[in-house]
């Protein structure tokens, strides 16, 4: 029986231990996200890497905002941010079965710096019946500068386009192709730029016949027009034109022409932004660019070179030695963390990718607008090296660095009583700051003499202002200091700072009540005349009592029933 009891007790202890011990340990961990900075003008896909993920894993932004999560494997998750996602800094965490795993990372969403002008606001001419908007190009005129063309003859063909849509057409490009004609001068590609709603644009293309035109009555010219709306949606329209041929209609022998449409990739930066705004000397920031292949051919092995550079020769033949990025301009901006050369992989026609580069602003950089060259080097379908160079502009500011405080310790403040505010502004920057007005306000009470013009402050210089605070109630009072100034690009800015002061309970000296009875031992002292003061002086010379009347015993009235001696000596005797 004793053995059985021991076994039962041991079983109970083991069951209690199992109920108190977790059945499983959550060992998953979030290591990093890529990319960690995105521009919100396009849809962005972010990859989360970690360990021991399962199918229940879900990504959270700032601990609550859940996004659609795709489980790839136990080390990789993926989620997508839609275009237009609110900019800001988000803490990325992962939950599994409702439990947050260890490890976090930070995702920065920035807004783009547009490279094209925004579409104009159109005044509606009538009440629209639908909300769909898009650019729509059409042809209003076409024709050659000759009535009829002949073999081996140069001529000019003109086309007028008009935007009949209700929004602007961006980056419009026309490509001319013909089986019987060869384009001259431009290679058959004409960049028309941006065409506003209701606006028009004309293009002239020169041709020469490709061999004999015998037996032909007309030749055809195909024009492919590509353009985009303000959201980056691509549109393509194809137009076919005819040109009469002189002496055509015969049955002579002529060459069969091969289409000569130009095919090439073209990489451009459609938007860009920085993780720090505004940029100042010494700022370290992340430059994020949206790159799009607006050409009609795949760009292979794309390399981005920030600051300028390239590879290959002018003939387009690949050269040994790889990509050169050391000849760029790095006086004002220098790469940090990685080099200025990055690989973006392959980009198909119409493809979009976001690229980023960590940079730092040189501390010696003066405020201004600085152009930065970005080169995209890639191979076309023939294996030739193509370099597309872009220029973006970064604005550098030098904002004032001010200290707002008091130039001496504050006196105690009492409710209902004025107190002094010895305000001091010190320029901690390395250059002179030109400042406007300073305004001091309080959230409780009133500030007197709280507005003044500061003017120019040298580096290390200071400005003082003596204001008065009239607090109304005891307790903490928040003082707000606002300084107005104009930045390096003539934009109005303000510097704001708050300081707290403590106000004590006020006290007041009681006013005596005239109806209260006067203390019998107190006698008000009348002011002495000149003769009285002179008489006390003489008494003092004679060694007699020369005390003021207030200190003289004779001035204290006797208590009722008390004997008061008469001045001049003792009493007389009886008869």
176 within 8 A of 222, measured Cβ to Cβ: yes
- Token duo for residue 366: 């003066």
Which domain-ending residue is among 504, 531, 559?
504
Sign (positive or negative) of CA dihedral 180, 181, 187, 188: negative
- Does one domain contain both 189 and 102? no
Under 8 Å between Cβ of 365 and 281: yes
Q: Are residues 370 and 278 in the same domain?
A: yes
Q: What's the rounded mean pLDDT across residues 438-453?
A: 94
Assess whether 344 and 272 both reside in one domain.
Answer: yes
| Cα separations in angstroms, 225 against 172, 242, 270 | 7, 17, 19
> Is residue 529 one of the residues assigned to a domain?
no
Residue 567 has pLDDT above 80, yes or no: no
pLDDT for 308: 80
In a domain, 256, yes or no: no
Same domain, yes or no: 350 and 431 = no
Q: Are residues 274 and 391 in the same domain?
A: yes
- Three-state SS for 229? coil
Do 384 and 410 have their domain in common? Answer: no
Q: Which of 364, 396, 428 is the last residue of a domain?
A: 396
Note whether 391 and 408 are same-domain residues: no
Q: How many domains does the chain have?
A: 4
Q: Are residues 377 and 419 in the same domain?
A: no
Contact 40, 84 (CB under 8 A): yes
- One domain for residues 379 and 290: yes
Asked whether residue 141 falls in the same domain as residue 239, the answer is yes
Tens digits of per-residue pLDDT, 211-254?
A: 777 778 888 899 998 999 888 889 999 899 888 988 654 444 44
- The answer to whether residue 317 scores a pLDDT higher than 50 is no
In this structure, are 349 and 375 located in the same domain? yes
**From CA 355, how far away is CA 273, in angstroms rounded?**
11
Query: 191, 212, 244: which is the final residue of a domain?
Result: 244
Question: Residue 451: which CATH number?
Answer: 2.60.40.10
Distance CA 395, CA 561 (A): 100
What is the per-residue pLDDT across 397-430, written as a single tens digit (0 to 9) for each? 989 999 999 999 999 999 988 999 999 999 998 8
Full residue range of the structural domain in which residue 455 is found? 402-504
Coarse DSSP helix, strand, coil percentages of the chain, rounded to the nearest 5 percent: 5, 45, 45
Rounded distance, CA 20 to CA 424, Å?
63
pTM of the model: 0.51
Confidence at residue 23, expressed as pLDDT on a 0 to 100 scale: 39
pLDDT digits (tens, 9 = 90+) for 279-316: 999 999 999 999 999 988 899 999 999 988 766 543 33
In a domain? residue 121: no
Minimum mean pLDDT range among 77-86, 92-101, 120-129, 176-185: 120-129
Give me the mean pLDDT over the 550-575 stretch: 46
């Amino acid at each position: 029986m004793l053995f059985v009891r021991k076994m039962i007790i041991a079983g109970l202890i083991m069951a209690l231990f199992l109920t108190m011990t977790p059945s499983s340990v959550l060992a998953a961990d979030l290591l990093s996200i890529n990319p960690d900075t995105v521009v919100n003008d396009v849809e962005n896909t972010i990859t989360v890497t970690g360990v021991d993920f399962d199918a229940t894993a879900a990504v959270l932004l700032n601990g609550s905002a859940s996004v659609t999560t795709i489980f790839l494997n136990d080390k990789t998750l993926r989620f997508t941010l839609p275009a237009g996602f609110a900019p800001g800094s988000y803490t990325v965490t992962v939950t599994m079965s409702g439990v947050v795993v260890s490890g976090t990372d930070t995702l920065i969403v920035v807004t783009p710096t547009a490279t094209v002008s925004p579409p104009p606001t159109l005044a509606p001419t009538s009440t629209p019946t639908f909300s769909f908007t898009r650019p729509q190009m059409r042809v209003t005129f076409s024709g050659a500068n000759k009535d009829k063309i002949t073999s081996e003859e140069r001529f000019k063909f003109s086309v007028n386009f008009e935007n009949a849509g209700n929004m602007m057409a961006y980056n419009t490009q026309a490509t001319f192709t013909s089986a019987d004609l060869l384009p001259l001068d431009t290679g058959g590609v004409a960049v028309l730029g941006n065409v506003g709603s209701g606006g028009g644009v004309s293009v002239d293309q020169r041709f020469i016949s490709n061999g004999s035109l015998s037996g032909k009555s007309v030749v055809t010219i195909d024009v492919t027009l590509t353009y985009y709306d303000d959201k980056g949606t691509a549109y393509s329209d194809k137009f076919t034109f005819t040109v009469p041929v002189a002496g055509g209609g015969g049955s002579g022998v002529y060459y069969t022409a091969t289409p000569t449409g130009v095919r090439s990739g073209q990489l451009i930066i459609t938007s860009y932004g920085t993780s720090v705004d505004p940029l100042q000397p010494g700022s370290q920031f992340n430059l994020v660019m949206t790159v799009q292949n607006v050409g009609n051919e795949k760009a292979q092995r794309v390399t981005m070179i920030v600051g300028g550079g390239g590879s290959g020769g002018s003939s387009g033949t690949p050269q040994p030695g790889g990509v050169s990025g050391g000849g760029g301009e790095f006086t004002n901006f220098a790469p940090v963390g990685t080099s200025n050369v990055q690989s973006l992989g392959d980009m198909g026609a119409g493809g979009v990718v976001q690229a980023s580069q960590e940079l730092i602003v040189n501390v010696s950089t003066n405020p201004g607008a600085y152009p930065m060259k970005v080169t995209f080097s890639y191979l076309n379908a023939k294996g030739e090296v193509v370099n597309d160079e872009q220029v973006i502009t970064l604005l550098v500011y030098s904002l004032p660095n001010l200290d707002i405080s008091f130039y001496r310790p504050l006196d105690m403040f009492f409710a209902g009583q004025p107190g002094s505010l010895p305000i001091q502004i010190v320029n901690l920057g390395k250059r002179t700051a030109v400042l406007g007005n300073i305004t001091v306000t309080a959230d409780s009470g009133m500030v007197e003499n709280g507005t003044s013009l500061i003017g120019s402050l040298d580096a290390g210089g200071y400005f003082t202002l003596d204001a008065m605070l009239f607090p109304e109630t005891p307790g903490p009072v928040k003082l707000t200091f606002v300084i107005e100034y104009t930045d390096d690009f003539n934009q109005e800015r303000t510097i704001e700072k708050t300081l707290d002061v403590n106000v004590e309970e006020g006290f007041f000296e009681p006013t005596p009540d005239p109806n209260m009875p006067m203390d019998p031992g107190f006698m008000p002292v009348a002011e002495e005349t000149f003769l009285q003061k002179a008489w006390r002086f003489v008494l003092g010379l004679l060694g007699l009592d020369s005390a003021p009347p207030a200190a003289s015993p004779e001035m204290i009235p006797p208590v009722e029933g008390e004997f008061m001696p008469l001045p001049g000596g003792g009493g007389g005797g009886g008869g």
